[in-house]
Amino acid sequence: MNKDLAKNLKSLGSDTVYKYKGGDAKLLEAFDNPAMRAMNGQDNLTIVITAPEFTSLCPKTGQPDFATIIIDYTPLDLCVESKSLKLYLGSFRQLGMFHEACVDKICKDLAALLKPARIKVVGQFSPRGGISFWPTSVRFYPKR
């Protein structure tokens, strides 16, 4: 990675401190989209991230919920830094929140940080009582 791209990143390359306090968006970090420079501002890059070990808690029973979180976005100026994303997703571990709310919060927090051309977040939650929930949250942003 170009050192200029990584100059503002705090989590990458440092000792890891895990925080399990409620989906803390302050844990998220971003770096300049290297493809944007190379493609003269064209938003032709799509990034798909799969996080298969997401956990949160049922807000009514306190039982754990397990999911694969899939983030699919077209970055403009910024890309999410993967270690900060891991720490952010891990911060949901002790949070009591419904599936739909978790997925929507992840989408909103990433959209606020990155301001991508578009972003979609899907939560593929493990079945409970024989029913699977796969909520999806999508945001689109106007081209500049």
Alpha carbons 47 and 82: distance in angstroms, whole number: 12
Does residue 6 sit within a domain? no
pLDDT of residue 75: 93
Q: Does the annotation count 65 as an active-site position?
A: yes
Does residue 34 sit within a domain? yes
* Structural domains in the chain (count): 1
pTM confidence score: 0.84
Read off the CATH number of the domain in which 100 is found. 3.30.1130.10
Of the candidates 24, 32, 43, 65, the residue annotated as catalytic is 65
Q: Is the pLDDT of residue 11 over 90?
A: no
Q: Is the pLDDT of residue 115 over 90?
A: yes
Of the candidates 4, 32, 43, 58, the residue annotated as catalytic is 58
Q: Which domain does 104 fall in, by range? A: 20-140
10-17 contacts, C-beta under 8 A, 24 or more apart: 10/84, 11/81, 11/83, 11/84, 11/87, 12/81, 12/83, 12/84, 16/83, 16/87
Q: Is the pLDDT of residue 124 over 90?
A: yes
Instruction: Give the model's confidence band at 36: pLDDT under 50 very low, under 70 low, under 90 confident, else very high.
Output: confident
Q: Does the annotation count 107 as an active-site position?
A: no
Does residue 10 sit within a domain? no
Over residues 15-37, mean pLDDT: 83
